[in-house]
């Protein structure tokens, strides 16, 4: 997953008006941290931007030629020249600069190596042997191939339509009179914006909003299954042929899904029909249902909007760090329960993912940590897993924080085992367990308090538990 860090927005770094950028339909990336959004190749054709429609034509031509090449391979002969040629064409270098995907605190991408390309070509050959000729089959490989996800599809598309993305980036840069530099890729030279947050010379690729989704459509099983159930014509054929996949999906069993989808051409075509019938909508940037954008803006304004008095002149011990973290946690509670920050936990009357909550806490905590001269490290690998946050001032002053939504199925285990292990790994006695309530806790609240009481009785110390009300509130006028 994309690691949390203090985001540096394109508009801030380059002095661009964010409202004008939005009016142009351009995504405002963070230059130093990836957004969990992806280029959806099925949105290229309907983009309002000419460069993306050109990209759609280039992608279709490539995939069509690749399908013909794979079809010509006799009986999956891996030594045949057509197989080797297909593997070579399906091998893509890493793409850097889109600021999208599952990067680890960077703006990098991932390529397709020779081994992965060989697997994908072999699977594509099995599909074409079923009589499936639709080139969209390549975009569906993440549904059935282990180790293949939306980031790979997005990066594959970026590779194949790089010239068109570069052309779009140059047009937007020229619109704002931004200085570009020459970058070479695959023997071609492009005038692109440099990313000033990267130590190595790295381009910044700008992208239209209307080609981005939280997941590419052909990899988003929830969207596919929903349209398959809502459209009667698709539902009848889909359920009859592919109904067994519901079970596979619920267990994330790609091997079973692969077995069903590759059982006949009719089955695979039924899935293609479901994809074709699914509304092709880009990410909803206004409501931000995944919480990808809002937390970045909050990082810039929280401390200034809701300042706190510095509790200590210096932080030199674990007790000092604990004092500051306790104040930050108290402020986080106040902002959610009393200052309306609970709204950031919800979208369309549904709770956002836990990852969104963690980023929201980071937006609050980081603002105050800068003011209080306390380091905050998100997603620290402790050797026994990743603790959500570590606060530190020097080697000895450490406090760890784990934060979860109340509907997390591992809520009790997170306190009794996970947090305890993280404290041991980080050599600290001090920990906080934040539970943000977005559904009835039921017996779990009592169980959590019992776990803490038991720890206090046995060890004389225990991690603090903070239960924060994140439920949607009625406005005063409606009460």
Residue 148 reports pLDDT greater than 70: yes
pLDDT digits (tens, 9 = 90+) for 355-365: 889 989 998 89
Q: How many CB atoms lie within 10 A of CB 34?
A: 23
Instruction: Name residues whose C-beta falls within 8 Å of residue 170's C-beta, 6 or more positions apart in sequence.
Output: 180, 190, 191, 192
351 vs 385 pLDDT, higher one: 351
Residue 233 reports pLDDT greater than 60: no
pLDDT digits (tens, 9 = 90+) for 301-319: 787 787 778 777 888 888 8
269 vs 12 pLDDT, higher one: 12
Beta bridge partners of 466: 434
Q: Beta 431-437 vs 464-469: how paired, if at all? A: parallel
Residue 445 reports pLDDT greater than 90: yes
pLDDT at 217: 77
Consecutive H or E run containing 392: strand 386-393
Whether 274 contacts 268, CB under 8 Å: no
Residue 420 reports pLDDT greater than 90: no
Alpha carbon of 196 to those of 8, 35, 264: distances in Å? 10, 18, 51
Instruction: Name residues whose C-beta falls within 8 Å of residue 452's C-beta, 6 or more positions apart in sequence.
Output: 415, 462, 463, 465
Whether 431 contacts 419, CB under 8 Å: yes
d(CA 382, CA 275) in angstroms, rounded, equals 41
The DSSP letter of residue 406 is T
pLDDT at 3: 56
Quote the strand ranges of 28-149, DSSP E. 38-39
361 vs 266 pLDDT, higher one: 361
pLDDT at 81: 92
pLDDT at 250: 47
Answering whether pTM is above 0.85, one says no
d(CA 72, CA 74) in angstroms, rounded, equals 6
282 vs 6 pLDDT, higher one: 282
CA angle, 228 as apex, 224 and 233 as ends, to 5°? 145
């Amino acid at each position: 997953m994309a690691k949390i860090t203090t985001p540096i927005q394109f508009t801030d770094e380059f002095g661009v008006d964010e409202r004008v950028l939005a009016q142009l339909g351009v995504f405002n990336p963070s230059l130093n941290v990836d957004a969990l959004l992806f280029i959806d190749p099925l949105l290229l054709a309907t983009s309002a931007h000419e460069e993306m429609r050109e990209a759609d034509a280039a992608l279709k031509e490539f995939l069509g030629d690749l399908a013909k090449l794979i079809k010509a391979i006799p009986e999956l002969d891996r030594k045949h020249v057509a197989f080797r040629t297909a593997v070579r064409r399906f091998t893509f270098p890493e793409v850097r600069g889109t600021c999208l995907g599952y990067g680890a605190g960077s703006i990098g991408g991932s390529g397709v190596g020779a081994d992965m390309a060989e697997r994908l070509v072999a699977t594509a050959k099995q599909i074409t042997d079923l009589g499936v000729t639709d080139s969209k089959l390549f975009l569906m490989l993440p549904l059935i191939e282990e180790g293949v996800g939306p980031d790979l599809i997005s990066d594959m598309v970026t590779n194949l339509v790089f010239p068109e993305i570069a052309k779009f980036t140059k047009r937007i840069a020229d619109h704002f009179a931004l200085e570009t530099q020459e970058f070479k890729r695959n023997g071609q030279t492009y005038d692109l914006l440099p990313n000033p947050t990267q130590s190595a010379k790295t381009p910044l690729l700008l992208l239209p909003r209307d080609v981005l989704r939280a997941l590419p459509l052909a990899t988003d099983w929830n969207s596919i299954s929903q349209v398959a159930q809502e459209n009667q014509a698709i539902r009848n054929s889909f359920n009859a042929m592919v109904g067994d996949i519901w079970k596979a999906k619920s267990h994330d069993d790609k091997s079973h899904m692969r077995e069903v989808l590759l059982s006949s051409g009719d089955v695979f075509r039924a899935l293609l029909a479901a994809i074709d019938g699914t509304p092709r909508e880009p990410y909803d940037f206004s409501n931000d249902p995944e919480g990808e954008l809002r937390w970045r803006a909050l990082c810039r304004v929280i401390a200034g909007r809701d300042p706190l008095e510095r509790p200590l002149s210096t932080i030199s011990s674990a007790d000092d760090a604990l004092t500051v973290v306790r104040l930050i946690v108290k402020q986080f509670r106040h902002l959610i329960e009393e200052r309306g920050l609970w709204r950031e936990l919800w979208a369309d009357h549904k709770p956002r993912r836990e990852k969104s909550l963690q980023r929201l806490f980071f937006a609050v905590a980081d603002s105050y940590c800068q003011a209080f001269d306390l380091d905050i490290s998100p997603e620290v690998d402790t050797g026994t897993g990743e603790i959500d946050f570590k606060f530190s001032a020097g080697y000895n002053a450490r406090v760890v924080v784990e934060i979860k939504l109340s509907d997390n199925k591992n809520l009790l285990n997170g306190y009794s085992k996970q947090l305890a292990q993280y404290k041991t790994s980080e050599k600290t006695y001090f920990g906080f367990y934040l539970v943000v309530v977005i559904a009835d806790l039921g017996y779990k609240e009592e169980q959590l308090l019992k776990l803490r009481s038991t720890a206090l009785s046995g060890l004389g110390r225990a991690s603090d538990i903070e239960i924060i009300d994140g439920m949607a509130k009625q406005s005063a006028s409606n009460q």
